[in-house]
Amino acid sequence: MIQRITPAGAEHAAFWNELAEEYQTETRITTSDFHFGPLLPGEKELGLLPKELKGMHCLELGAGAGQNSIYLASKGAKCTALDISENQLNHGRKLADAEGLAVDFLLADLDHLPVFPKKFDLIHSAYGIPFSTHPEALIQHCADLLNPGGQLVFSMGHPVYAGEWLELDDDQGIFLQNYFHPQPDVREGDSSAVQAMAYPLSEVVAWLRKAGFQLMDLREPSSLPVDKMSPDEIEDRVPYYSEDWAEQVNELSKFPVVAIFSARKI
Ligand SMILES: C[S@@+](CC[C@H](N)C(=O)[O-])C[C@H]1O[C@@H](n2cnc3c(N)ncnc32)[C@H](O)[C@@H]1O
């Protein structure tokens, strides 16, 4: 039973509960690498996480089925995977059980985080923070929940990807109405809808600095050329893949779908 939930959180719970089964069936999300976004290389190639994960106390925000937490648990980390959708978490519980790994799956609202008994060494999120109504406050909250020297690694929607892909007579590209106020990523279900927000990169960096973080890395990876890769190669190098995303490989090879931030609490 969830302790506290915001009105936006309740809408997100309804939407993601409805979508969870389809999302987890149609998206292949591996637990043998750590993913940051669709069609992108994972941690094996990007190398953004701490090198020694054994014994690390980790928290995942907007975890879905927590495949990233399961990956970290397989490396010896102690993981909590938090999400607003019970159906997403239930999928994760089954996955972790099947792999014989312990992950603490926690139903909670990222805009109303519970009190944790202990601080964390790593907080991470793959496209969970864009669903927060108050991402700046959430980043401050992450700073409060981390041990000194702890790391925050997360992907957010890239503001350029908020533009609309246009095919013109003899050219194609993104039409971006306003970089400083990107259009929300609106997702509609049968009976509910939610939106994820993108922000100018400098705004996110300013939130991090204000919260007492030192930015260690900022990546804008291009998608892997999945249209030219064999199924085995995709399985090995693309930790987050679906046929729907694969149809966008042309766009995603020219513009970044997410920005990945890695920051250390000073
Ligand atoms: C795009 S999915 C990403 C899930 C996972 N990180 C992955 O890569 O598969 C966004 C997740 O954020 C969760 N979410 C949305 N709003 C939330 C909120 N207010 N509190 C906690 N989780 C939330 C959704 O339930 C969903 O599982």
**Does residue 109 sit in helix, strand or coil?**
coil
Q: Is residue 2 part of a domain?
A: no
The answer to whether 135 and 232 are in contact (CB under 8 A) is: no
**Does residue 160 sit in helix, strand or coil?**
helix
**Does residue 31 sit in helix, strand or coil?**
coil
Query: What is the pLDDT at residue 111?
Result: 95
Query: What is the pLDDT at residue 2?
Result: 67
Q: Is 131 in the pocket of ligand 1 (CB under 6 A)?
A: yes
The answer to whether 137 and 33 are in contact (CB under 8 A) is: no
Q: Is 63 in the pocket of ligand 1 (CB under 6 A)?
A: yes
Give CA–CA dist 95/218, Å, rounded: 31
What is the four-CA torsion angle of 196, 261, 177, 192, rounded to 10 degrees? -10
**First CA to last CA across the chain, in angstroms?**
35
CA geometry: angle 38, 9, 71, nearest 5 deg: 40
Q: Is residue 248 part of a domain?
A: yes
Give CA–CA dist 42/3, Å, rounded: 34
Counting atoms of ligand 1 from 1, which one is nearest the CA of 133? 19
The answer to whether 73 and 96 are in contact (CB under 8 A) is: yes
Give CA–CA dist 66/70, Å, rounded: 6
Closest CA to 165 of 87, 260, 72, 257: 257
Sign of CA dihedral 261, 247, 65, 56: negative
CATH at 78 = 3.40.50.150
Give CA–CA dist 191/197, Å, rounded: 21
pLDDT in tens, 220-238: 999 999 999 999 999 999 9
The total of structural domains in the chain comes to 1
pLDDT in tens, 157-202: 999 999 999 999 889 999 999 999 999 999 888 888 899 999 999 9
Q: Is residue 109 part of a domain?
A: yes
Give CA–CA dist 162/139, Å, rounded: 22
Q: Is 84 in the pocket of ligand 1 (CB under 6 A)?
A: yes
Q: Estimate the crossing angle of helix 86-98 against helix 7-26, to 10 degrees.
A: 40
Query: What is the pLDDT at residue 1?
Result: 63
Record the tokens describing residue 21, joined without a space.
């089964």
Whether the model pTM is above 0.95: yes
Query: What is the pLDDT at residue 3?
Result: 66
Residue showing tokens 């009190």: 115
Q: Is residue 1 part of a domain?
A: no
- Ligand 1 center–CA 77 separation, angstroms: 21
Q: Is residue 33 part of a domain?
A: yes
By residue range, what is the domain housing residue 212?
Answer: 7-265
Alpha carbon nearest to ligand 1 atom 10, residue? 128
Q: Is 88 in the pocket of ligand 1 (CB under 6 A)?
A: yes
Counting atoms of ligand 1 from 1, which one is nearest the CA of 15? 25
